[in-house]
Amino acid sequence: MKLEILKLTDRRMKILEKMKIQSVEELLHTYPFRYESVVSVPYEQWNPQDSVAFEGVISSMPSVIQLRNKQSMTRFKVISWNEEITVTLFNRPWPGQFPFGKQITIFGIYQGKNQVTASSYNFIPINQQQGLRPVYSLVKIAKQSDLKAMMKKALKYVKHDPDLVPERFRKKYRLLCHEQALLWIHEPPDDQKLHQAIRTLKYEEFLCFQSVLQATQNSVVAGESKIFDQSLLEEKISALPYELTADQRKALDDILRDLRSDTQMYRMVQGDVGCGKTAVAALSIEAARLSGVQSAFLAPTEILAAQHLENLKKLDIPARLYAASLKKKEKREILDQLKNGEIQVVVGTHALFQESVEFDHLGLVIVDEQQRFGVRQRRALIEKGVKADFLMMSATPIPRTYAHFLFGDIQLSSIRTLPPGRQPVKTKFVRGASMGPILKEVLEGIKEGRQLYVVCPAIEDNPETDIHSVEKIYAGMVQTFQDRIRIGLLHGQMKQAEKEQVMKEFESGQLNVLVSTTVIEVGIDVPNATMMVIYDANHFGLSTLHQLRGRAARGKVQGLCWLLADTKDAMAIEKMKMMEQLLDGFSISDYDLKLRGPGDLLGTRQSGLPAFILGDFDKDPAIMECALSDAREILARQIDQPMLNYVRKASDDSVYLD
């Protein structure tokens, strides 16, 4: 359904555009990321830092104070519970909205001494708002009231959203119908009904995922046995400037055995940042080259693709780079040479998916950071070959017990040990919202010639949250240090040329500091950048934190990572402290699996895994197993038409899996 049927204002349509929501269905499936329990507690029971909700009468004229960086602070007084309470609102510079004598409802944090910092407000009586209150993720120009108003309109059309779960499974697991689940997840009457809604939608999501996965995969596919001279490969291994670790050797032997097999390889090599996965991939490419077939090495960014190309050249493996930024003449030359077989190894980005890219005999496809590509994209590249072997690489360890759910009949090779001389990053948890406590240590490191990453969870400031943004931190650091420290800015909304320029300056040492979002999580290899500060670290998953800090472990100097988190949440604090102790991705994955605390109501998501909206990779194994067997039954019986129609559509465009 088109959004136009909701008859939204231009501003609210722009909000949805920024949120990349293009239909009523997509809006309905934009779930709250948490819920607030609204209870109006009497004033005498308030304690400093408590979340409070109260209504009262505005008893003073509002005053607006302009702060730095276009920020503002609005203050006025409210009489409630026979007390005069001073309310402070940030970045709401609209005094006309708060006239003297108007009834208002405030939600915020009690600071003590009759002071409340408001997070939101409205003019609805509080007795109409008691209970569970959804909180949505927002873009900069949006308010919670915008999302709630738009969702209220969208819920009128919830009957048009199809119920994909067959009735026999709904009865078997005591699930809600799709319509009721959507209504209760956005407007939960109580905790129990919310739990029912989440449980229903999790199962539906897993069932859809598994149905499409099983429909698009074959268990065993006939392959092409590759014959190569093992002694020539061993010569290449002996010539390496380092010795392969035992885990690297085992992973390589697994791959070589697959290459020789007459069934198609479908394998993933997983291991920490810096464990040597790229060396294993390069030697696999050399084996394929010796057998006479072509190889394609796919990377998510041009920066990473260029690094892989350099690594192949260091091993005397001839290769070419194919990316969107190349000039037309060079692209045409590479395309011709791939088609006639002159180029045996190509390293590229998404540009390799284009129809114009043809191979003479593509026999091996390797995908680095596989989670950055959709199923259809990976399949499109594999199908450019004839029975091509397929190898994925991932720095996010996946427990073997769950790999079959996420990737089907995949074989796993794990590299757990780091190469000699590579040290785990020393991690420190710092309570607070600023670099103040560690600034001296950071500046000393820069003075010694080390470079620094500063990572923030957001690009722009949002008045609804206190999360640090790269733009604000970058502006603050530039203003503080002037020309004494050279600082760069990097985030996903910048143009490709701008990003590459900043990275070149950082790699060459022209910049001392790089302020960035998580775009540095993969593909950044700067040996001299051995320090990292992560703001609002509690807003990242443990796997993402581990991926990020791995960027500070590329040099010979001990890497340092400071996790800044201004939180009182006991679970978040425990996780930050565990990051000080857990040194590798496998132990982090094990720790995640053992955690069964409440966390966020809708669960946490682990970087590098399929992007389930509600389904939690760690916390929902029972639902996953049911969905796996139920999807198998649906596809075998071919009687559940709504689900089968969905599977056919998703198989055609891979929207769901991408």
Residue 20 has pLDDT above 80, yes or no: yes
Task: Find, among 91, 141, 144, 86, the residue nearest to 115 by Cα.
Answer: 86
**Helix, strand and coil in the chain, % to nearest 5:** 45, 20, 40
Token readout for 471 is 């733009």
Name the residue with higher pLDDT: 194 or 417: 194
Residue 594 has pLDDT above 90, yes or no: no
Q: Which residues contact 57 (CB under 8 A, 6 or more apart)?
A: 78, 79, 80, 101, 102, 103, 104
Query: For 176-218, how does the pLDDT look when each residue is reduced to its tens digit (9 = 90+)?
Result: 999 999 999 999 988 899 999 999 999 998 898 888 878 766 5
User: Could you give the CA distance from residue 56 to residue 77 in angstroms, rounded to a whole number?
Assistant: 9
Residue at 266: amino acid letter: Y
**Token match 């590479």: residue?**
334
Task: Find, among 604, 587, 591, 607, the residue nearest to 547 by Cα.
Answer: 607
Token readout for 645 is 């129609």
Token readout for 53 is 């909700």
User: Could you give the CA distance from residue 515 to residue 528 in angstroms, rounded to a whole number?
Assistant: 16
User: Could you give the CA distance from residue 608 to residue 547 in angstroms, rounded to a whole number?
Assistant: 10
657 confidence band (pLDDT: 50, 70, 90): very low
Q: CA geometry: angle at 635 spanning 632 and 641, to 5°?
A: 135
Q: Which residues contact 646 (CB under 8 A, 6 or more apart)?
A: 162, 164, 208, 211
pTM, two decimals, is 0.64
User: Could you give the CA distance from residue 194 to residue 476 in angstroms, rounded to a whole number?
Assistant: 42
**Token match 């899996």: residue?**
657
Instruction: Determine the pLDDT at residue 608.
Output: 38
127 confidence band (pLDDT: 50, 70, 90): confident
Task: Give me Rg for the CA atoms of the chain.
Answer: 27
Name the residue with higher pLDDT: 655 or 383: 383
Q: CA geometry: angle at 389 spanning 383 and 390, to 5°?
A: 80
Q: Which residues pair with 57 in a beta bridge?
A: 79, 103
Token readout for 641 is 């038409």
Residue 531 has pLDDT above 50, yes or no: yes
Pinpoint the alpha helices (H) of 228-320: 230-238, 246-260, 277-291, 302-314
Residue 361 has pLDDT above 80, yes or no: yes
